[in-house]
Structure 1
Amino acid sequence: MEICSKRILFASILLFLCISICYAEDGPAQEDPPEIVGKAMSCFDHVYECPPAHRLTPSGTLNVPYEQTDEYCNSGCYDGTQLVLTCIDQILTNFEFYNKATVEDIRKTIVQACSNTDKRGDFNVMERVTASGSTGKTEAKNIGGVIMMFLFLAGLLLPV
């Protein structure tokens, strides 16, 4: 009887840890996911001084030709895009554009594209997505939960 109670205690502790880790990573849902995404998408409706062709799109692209870099960086385009990114980030911190870029990937792109470096005028977001490895964040975050679940199941199957 003592062995059985140790096994139950061990399994209970592992289950508690699993729930705690998974809950801490994802947090409780406050709103429906479609509502949250809808609010984040409404950030693109902000009106700012920038030709529509050069505005950030939900696909995560910035269509700014090299020869119009100065116009983009020194006008309302740069600031307006930063406001859109801040709006998105405040609503959904792990927002991913259709091209898998994150808010941080877009920020890096426009900062580098407006800098006085060899990246000036390079608004290719996909270069920063690949370089930053932003697509691996979610996978790495869930490994702890998977390990804990494995330990929980092992605790039920292994003799104590």
Structure 2
Amino acid sequence: MELSGKSGGRAGFLWLSFCIFLTLSCAKVISDPLKNVNLSPFQQWISAYECLNKTSPTCAANGLNLTGIIHVTGSEVTDYCNGCAQWTKDVLTCIHLVKRDFWFANNATVKLINETISHGCATNSDIVMLGVKKSGGIRNYSRTYMALFSALILAIFLFST
């Protein structure tokens, strides 16, 4: 009995180590973000970042990055709309498919950038997405509802006893 207790612990540790090694060695690294199974928000962020890392050699100057800033003016608009706009829309579609609630650093959404590019190319006008101001209205409503909710809970607690 004594011999099996000591060697059983070591053997169990070795089997566990071997199983973990096999599991990790058989795991595949998927570089295509659309083939990832997005179960957690962390994986969604990684997939969205991989979408942004898809580069185009023709759109290096006006490429999309985490800032979300797009600034195409004047004579660049026609060249941008003939090639880079479709590439940017493909990147935005990839981001939308892997993380639907993605926000860029300038508070722009995927939908807003898509609409800005479509409008600029349709009207042949400047495509400028520098920053978006967020409304603080939701914060004010949440404070009001939280106070009301707390008062109702307190009233229920006081009057139920």
Q: TM-score, normalised by structure 1?
A: 0.61
Shift of the 51–149 alpha-carbon distance from structure 1 to 2, 3 Å rule, reads: same
CA drift of 1:90 comes to 1.0
1:123-142 to 2 correspondence within 5 Å? 123-126=128-131, 129-130=132-133, 135-136=134-135, 139=138
Q: What residue in structure 2 maps to residue 157 of structure 1?
A: 157
Q: What residue in structure 2 maps to residue 40 of structure 1?
A: 48
Per-residue CA deviation, residues 81-110 of structure 1 (Å, 9 max, x unaligned), is: 111111111111111101111111111211
What is the aligned length?
A: 121
- What is the one-letter code of the residue matched to 2:154? A
Structure 2 residue 65 is matched with structure 1 residue 84: no
CA drift of 1:150 comes to 3.2
Q: Structure 2: where are the runs of 5+ without partners?
A: 1-37
Give secondary structure in 1 for the equivalent of 2:76: helix
Q: Structure 1: where are the runs of 5+ without partners?
A: 1-28
Does the CA contact (< 8 Å) of 1:65 and 1:121 recur in 2?
Answer: yes
Give secondary structure in 1 for the equivalent of 2:78: helix
Does the CA contact (< 8 Å) of 2:68 and 2:105 recur in 1?
Answer: yes
- What is the one-letter code of the residue matched to 2:153? L
Does the CA contact (< 8 Å) of 1:40 and 1:91 recur in 2?
Answer: yes
User: Among 53, 63, 69, which residue is 2:71 paired with?
Assistant: 63
- What is the one-letter code of the residue matched to 1:52? A
Does the CA contact (< 8 Å) of 2:71 and 2:127 recur in 1?
Answer: no
Give secondary structure in 2 for the equivalent of 1:112: helix
Q: TM-score, normalised by structure 2?
A: 0.60
Q: Name the larger-Rg structure.
A: 2
Q: Distance in 2 between matches of 1:57 and 1:100?
A: 13
CA drift of 1:37 comes to 1.0
The structure 1 segments of at least 4 consecutive aligned residues displaced by more than 6 Å after TM superposition are: none
- What is the one-letter code of the residue matched to 1:71? D
Shift of the 90–138 alpha-carbon distance from structure 1 to 2, 3 Å rule, reads: farther
> RMSD across aligned C-alpha pairs, in angstroms?
3.2
Q: What residue in structure 2 maps to residue 99 of structure 1?
A: 106
Q: Distance in 1 between matches of 2:96 and 2:128?
A: 20
Q: Distance in 1 between matches of 2:55 and 2:155?
A: 57
Q: Distance in 2 between matches of 1:104 and 1:124?
A: 12
Does 1 or 2 have the higher relative contact order (CA < 8 Å, sep 6+)?
1
CA drift of 1:47 comes to 3.4
State the identity %.
24
